[in-house]
Chains A and B, each alone.
Chain A
Amino acid sequence: MFPYSTMLEPLFWIIMGFLYTIFIISIKYWAEDLKFKLNWWKWTLFSIWFIVLNIIIAGGFTLIGENETRAGLYFLGVFGTSIILLGAGLWKLMRK
């Protein structure tokens, strides 16, 4: 069964890689569509935010996977909420 399956696990990561590639390529067009005037530091901030978001999701679900469900949920609750709030702030900043 997934995630230990020899077939499904690589397939899962191939699909994830595909989705990430599409997402990263799309960001530029999405920003243009939303009429965001993005400069180098806005891109940097967004990249940092996105990496941290990924780390939080990965960290939280790793904890849940390691049978630390409570810790995982608290991790996602505290840091997940914080990153959403930062995301909202970043969105406002990027619109300027």
Chain B
Amino acid sequence: MEADEKIINMRNYSVHFKNWFIIIGVILVVIVAISLGNKRSKVKNKDLISNSIKNLDVETQFINSNKWLVVNPITGLKENYIFIGEGKGYNGPVKVLVLSDTNHVIKSVKILAQTETHSYFQQIFKTNFLGKLTGIKLSSVNNIDGVSGATKSSIGIITGINLAYLAGENIEFSENKKIQFGFLEILILILFALALINTRLRKKQYVRMVWWLSLFLSVIFLGFTYNQAITIARINSLLLGFWPSVYTELFVYILIIASISSIVFTGKNHYCHSICPFGASQELIGKLGKPKIRKPKNFKLLKRIQWSVTFFAIVIALFMYDPGLTEYEIYGGLFKLTATAAGFGLLIIIIISSLFIKKPWCRYLCPLDGFFKYLSIVRKEVIHLFK
């Protein structure tokens, strides 16, 4: 009996040791990746502006760090201005270079650097958004509409141009400091409230009813209307310090804080269960078929591969200082018909397999599964520490 107890204790110790190894190891690797990425980006940024002006092959005079004057090399007369600025996109900063005439009318716009998701940012070029900015006065660029399917990126470009102009001309400006608390914020709070209520309900019938209501709300609004699921790019950008504005994007904070809190305080992953719009879509598609929870023999190994892929995807993105670089989710393909060809292919496979397998994306591919698993390990070990 004593020997058995000893073996159990030994096993427990090895499990806790393994967990702490994962917790500390992940934190250390992430910190190293962030600092290396930060260092690389500083070197890259330093050369970026000087190189991009050199590449224009014009004679320039430095006015301030946002504005350059282009002069005619023969007559020496003022010809154009160059403005360089930075706006906030979906994943991080969007750096733009604007060439304008002496009356501040835009002649061309060039993207110097961006960290947006490739498939979304392609919409900017497909719709010739940069070309449409030609001929517009810099002072009225704020009135331009964004591109549907790449709203945040296009707004980032507009803001970048506007900030470049204002800073270049030494015009004072202040950020809009009014918190926008609208439908999306309320919806996310309602979804989390429904998830919490559901844990208190006793009748199975009501539990299912509330759950289905959450799924429908999530798919319709969080998915098809706003396309606002938590993505790996969002996590990367938060880790890299590209925090969205609290005033205009409060919903991001609510969504992430509530998702993390639900795991930390209740130990339950409400986000994946009833709030994620892609998970909800798979549940709804599954209603058309007969999905089963399939546990293959090597299920544990598959899960470890899934979590490792997430970890490496995050580390690579942090090291490259590009949050959208390793984003491999396919939500955009379903909700906004925006994805790469491979993304669309994978989406079709996932949709069709949802008829036979219960939430195949969540079970075998979703990067958030690893992220939330990590949080639950931290929770478990911290609780154990204070027991």
Contact = CB atoms under 8 A, between A and B. Distances in A.
Interface of A: 73-74, 77-78, 80-81, 84-86, 88-89, 92
B31 interface: no
Nearest to A74: B344
20 contacts: A73-B341, A77-B345, A78-B337, A80-B348, A81-B351, A81-B352, A84-B352, A85-B285, A85-B288, A85-B351, A85-B352, A85-B355, A86-B288, A88-B288, A88-B289, A88-B355, A89-B288, A92-B288, A92-B289, A92-B290
Interface in B283-315: 285, 288-290
A9 B241 CA distance: 63
Contacts of B355: 85, 88
Contacts of A81: 348, 351-352
Contacts of A80: 348
Contacts of A73: 341
Interface residues of B, number: 12
Contacts of A85: 285, 288, 351-352, 355
Nearest to A86: B288
Interface in B320-360: 337, 341, 344-345, 348, 351-352, 355
Contacts of B341: 73
Nearest to B285: A85
A88 B286 CA distance: 10
A17 B55 CA distance: 64
Nearest to A89: B288
Enumerate the 7 nearest inter-chain pairs by beta-carbon distance, A residue then B residue, closest first.
A89-B288, A88-B288, A88-B289, A88-B355, A81-B348, A81-B351, A77-B344
Interface in B259-294: 285, 288-290
A78 B290 CA distance: 22
Given A77-B345, A81-B352, A84-B352, 14 more contacts: A73-B341, A74-B344, A77-B344, A77-B348, A78-B337, A81-B348, A81-B351, A85-B288, A85-B352, A85-B355, A86-B288, A88-B288, A88-B289, A88-B355
Contacts of B344: 74, 77
Contacts of A74: 344
A88 B290 CA distance: 9
